[in-house]
C-alpha cells in the first residue's frame, strides 16, 4: 500500500521543489526513521558525518549572504528547509541544533560579528567543520533573560568574562569539532528597573582558556544533540570579538530569538506532518473489531482536526517567513523580491510568538493523540511517536522561549502594554 502523503507542493517554486527532493533523498539514504530513533536512544554527541552531510546539502545558515559563504536564501526558502528537517527528524534534535541554533542564531552572529569571526567560525560552521551556538540562559534565569549574572570587564584591549551558562545546546558537539558561542554578559552597573540595559554580546571560542563545559543533562528527549553548559573563569576575549555594539546585546538577543523561533515553528510543522503520515499508514492497516482503526470516527475525527491545525500552522509560518523577508529587506541586508507591506518589529514579534507557542504544542498534542491511536505500539520506541513527543516538549516548556513567555508577548500586542504582567 502506498504511503500516505500529506503535503501540497503546488505553492512551491521550482527551486524549492528541488530542495525538497534533495533533502528527502538524502534522508532516505542517511537518516531514515529507524536511525533517528537509534540516535536518540544512543544520545549525543550528534554524529559528525551527519553534521557534514547536512552542511554539504547546504541547509545550514542558507540566509547568510552569498558573499559571506551563505546562499542568500529567503526566509521562505529557509523555513521550507526547516520544515523538511523537522519532517525528517521528528525528535526535532536536528532542527534544534542546525536550524534554530546554527541557522537562526548563526545568521544573527554573522550579522554582528567582525570578519575574523566570520572567517574562522561562521563560514566553517556553514561547511559543517565547526559548531556555533547561543548561550543566554543561566542558572538564575532563562525566561527572565534580563536577569543575567555573567559579567564582562574590560582589561586593556581584552574583555574578561565570568559566570555560568546552562541549558545550552551543542556544547559537546562544539567541543568535539571546534566552534564557539555567543555569550551575553553584563558590562556595567545593573540599572534599576531596566535590567536589560547593559547586556553586551561576545563571541567566545569553545577552546578558550578558563572555559569549562559542565556535565550535559539527561534530557527527556531530543537526545541526539547535547544540552549542557559551561563555566567561565576569567575567560579572555579580544575587544574585536564583541558582537555589535556595547550594551546593545539585549536587542540583538531579541533578534536572534526571533530568527530561531521562526525556524522552530517551521520545523514543528514538519514534525506534525510526519507524525500524521506515519500514524495514517498505521491506522489504515491495523484492524480492530473487524475494521481498520481509520474507519472509526473517534480516531478519524481526531486525525482530521490535527491535520487541519497543521495546515493552518503552515500558513502562519508562511506568513511569518514573508514578514521576516521584508524586515531584512528594509535593512537592506540581502536581496529579496519586493514586498508591498512592511511590518513593525513588534508586529513580527507577535506573529513569531504565535507560531513559537502554537506549533510545538500542536506537534506534541498530535504525537500524544497518535500514541493513543496506536496503544501499546505507540508507547514503544519501535515507532517515532514517543520520541517525537519527548523531543518537541522541549520547545513547549522553554527552549528558545517558553510558551508562556510567548503568550505574554502576544498579550502585549493584542490587549496592550498596560496589561503586561511584569517587565
Partner 1 sequence: MDEETGTIIREGVPSVLNAFDEFALNLAVELKNEVEEDVEIVALSMGPPQAKEALNKCLAIGADRAVLLTDMVFAGADTWATSVTLSRAIKNIGKTDIVFMGQEASDGNTAQVGPEVAAHMGIPQLTFVTEVESVNNSHVVAKKETDEGFVRIKCETPVMIACMPTPGFEPRIPNIREIMKAKKKEYQEWSHEDLGGDPSEYGLDGSESVVIKTYSPPPKGEGIIVDDEPEVAVKKLMDFFEDEGIL
Of 134, 211, 204, nearest in space to 169 by CA: 134
CB of 14 to partner 1, least distance (A): 6
Residue 81 lies near partner 1 (rule: CB under 8 A): yes
**Residue 151 backbone dihedrals phi, psi, to 5 degrees:** -125, 160
CB of 256 to partner 1, least distance (A): 23
Piece of 69-77, 147-155, 302-310, 368-376 that binds partner 1 (CB under 8 A): 69-77
Q: Are 138 and 166 in contact (CB under 8 A)?
A: yes
What is the rounded distance in angstroms from the CA atom of residue 407 to the CA atom of residue 262? 15
CB of 23 to partner 1, least distance (A): 9
Q: Which residues have C-beta within 8 Å of that of residue 415, sequence separation ≥ 6? A: none
Nearer to partner 1, 57 or 211 (CB): 57
Piece of 16-24, 258-266, 368-376, 397-405 that binds partner 1 (CB under 8 A): 16-24
CB of 30 to partner 1, least distance (A): 10
Residue 17 lies near partner 1 (rule: CB under 8 A): yes
What is the rounded distance in angstroms from the CA atom of residue 71 to the CA atom of residue 199? 31
Task: State yes or no: cis peptide before 335, omega within 30 of 0.
Answer: no
User: Helix, strand, or coil here: 375?
Assistant: coil
Nearer to partner 1, 4 or 22 (CB): 22
Which residues face 388 on adjacent strands?
Answer: none
Piece of 12-20, 147-155, 191-199, 382-390 that binds partner 1 (CB under 8 A): 12-20
The angle at the Cα of 386, spanning 9 to 264, to the nearest 5 degrees, equals 45
Of 232, 191, 192, 227, nearest in space to 210 by CA: 232
Residue 188 lies near partner 1 (rule: CB under 8 A): no
Q: Are 77 and 64 in contact (CB under 8 A)?
A: no
Residue 107 lies near partner 1 (rule: CB under 8 A): no
Residue 19 lies near partner 1 (rule: CB under 8 A): yes
Residue 15 lies near partner 1 (rule: CB under 8 A): yes
Of 8, 14, 67, 297, the one binding partner 1 by CB under 8 A:
14
Nearer to partner 1, 71 or 231 (CB): 71
Nearer to partner 1, 85 or 399 (CB): 85
Piece of 19-27, 167-175, 180-188, 349-357 that binds partner 1 (CB under 8 A): 19-27
CB of 22 to partner 1, least distance (A): 5
Of 11, 21, 34, 305, the one binding partner 1 by CB under 8 A:
21
What is the rounded distance in angstroms from the CA atom of residue 368 to the CA atom of residue 385? 8
| Per-position x/- string for 118-137, each x denoting binding to partner 1 as judged by CB under 8 A, each - no binding | --------------------
Nearer to partner 1, 29 or 341 (CB): 29
User: Helix, strand, or coil here: 182?
Assistant: strand
Q: Match 514579534 to its residue by C-alpha cell.
A: 349
Residue 283: count of CB within 10 angstroms of its CB: 22
Residues 25 to 64 in contact with partner 1, rule: CB under 8 A: 25-26, 29, 56-59, 62
CB of 321 to partner 1, least distance (A): 16
Q: Are 44 and 172 in contact (CB under 8 A)?
A: yes
CB of 161 to partner 1, least distance (A): 36
What is the rounded distance in angstroms from the CA atom of residue 372 to the CA atom of residue 374? 5
Return the sign of the alpha-carbon dihedral for residues 243, 59, 326, 332. Answer: positive
Nearer to partner 1, 25 or 115 (CB): 25
CA 359 to chain centre: 12
Residues of this chain that bind partner 1 (CB under 8 A): 14-15, 17-19, 21-22, 25-26, 29, 56-59, 62, 71-73, 81
Amino acid at each position: 500500500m502506498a504511503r500516505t502523503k500529506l503535503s501540497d507542493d503546488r505553492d512551491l517554486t521550482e527551486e524549492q521543489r528541488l530542495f525538497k527532493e534533495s533533502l528527502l533523498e538524502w534522508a532516505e539514504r542517511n537518516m531514515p526513521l529507524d536511525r533517528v530513533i537509534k540516535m536518540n536512544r544512543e544520545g549525543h554527541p550528534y554524529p559528525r558525518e551527519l553534521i557534514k552531510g547536512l552542511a554539504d546539502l547546504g541547509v545550514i545558515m542558507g540566509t547568510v549572504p552569498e558573499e559571506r559563504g551563505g546562499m542568500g536564501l529567503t526566509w521562505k526558502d529557509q523555513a521550507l528547509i526547516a520544515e523538511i528537517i523537522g519532517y525528517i527528524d521528528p525528535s526535532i534534535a536536528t532542527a534544534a541544533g542546525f536550524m534554530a541554533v546554527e541557522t537562526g542564531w548563526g545568521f544573527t552572529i554573522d550579522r554582528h560579528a567582525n570578519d575574523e569571526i566570520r572567517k574562522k567560525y561562521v563560514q566553517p560552521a556553514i561547511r559543517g567543520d565547526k559548531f556555533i551556538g547561543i548561550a543566554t540562559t543561566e542558572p538564575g534565569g532563562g525566561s527572565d533573560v534580563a536577569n543575567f549574572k555573567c559579567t564582562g570587564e574590560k582589561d586593556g584591549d581584552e574583555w574578561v568574562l565570568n559566570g555560568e551558562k546552562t541549558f545550552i545546546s551543542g556544547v559537546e558537539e562544539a567541543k568535539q569539532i571546534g566552534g564557539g558561542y555567543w555569550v551575553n554578559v553584563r558590562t556595567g552597573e545593573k540599572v534599576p528597573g531596566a535590567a536589560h540595559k547593559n547586556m553586551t554580546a561576545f563571541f567566545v571560542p569553545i577552546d578558550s582558556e578558563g572555559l569549562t563545559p559542565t556535565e550535559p543533562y539527561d534530557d527527556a528527549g531530543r537526545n541526539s544533540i547535547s544540552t549542557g553548559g559551561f563555566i567561565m573563569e576569567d575567560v579572555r576575549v579580544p575587544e574585536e570579538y564583541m558582537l555589535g555594539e556595547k550594551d546593545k546585546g539585549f536587542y540583538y538577543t531579541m533578534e536572534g530569538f526571533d530568527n530561531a523561533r521562526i525556524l522552530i515553528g517551521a520545523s514543528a510543522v514538519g514534525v506534525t506532518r510526519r507524525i500524521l503520515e506515519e500514524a495514517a499508514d498505521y491506522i489504515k492497516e491495523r484492524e480492530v473489531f473487524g475494521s481498520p482503526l481509520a474507519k472509526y470516527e473517534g480516531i478519524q475525527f481526531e486525525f482530521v482536526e490535527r491535520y487541519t491545525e497543521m495546515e493552518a500552522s503552515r500558513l502562519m509560518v508562511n506568513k511569518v517567513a514573508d514578514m521576516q523577508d521584508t524586515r531584512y529587506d528594509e535593512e537592506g541586508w540581502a536581496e529579496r523580491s519586493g514586498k508591498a507591506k512592511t511590518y513593525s518589529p513588534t508586529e513580527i514579534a507577535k506573529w513569531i510568538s504565535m507560531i513559537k507557542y502554537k506549533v510545538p504544542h500542536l506537534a506534541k498534542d498530535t504525537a500524544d493523540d497518535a500514541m493513543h491511536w496506536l496503544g501499546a505500539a505507540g508507547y514503544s520506541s519501535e515507532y517515532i511517536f514517543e520520541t517525537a513527543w519527548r523531543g518537541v516538549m522541549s520547545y513547549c516548556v522553554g527552549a528558545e522561549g517558553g510558551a508562556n513567555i510567548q503568550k505574554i508577548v502576544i498579550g502585549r500586542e493584542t490587549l496592550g502594554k498596560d496589561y503586561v504582567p511584569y517587565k
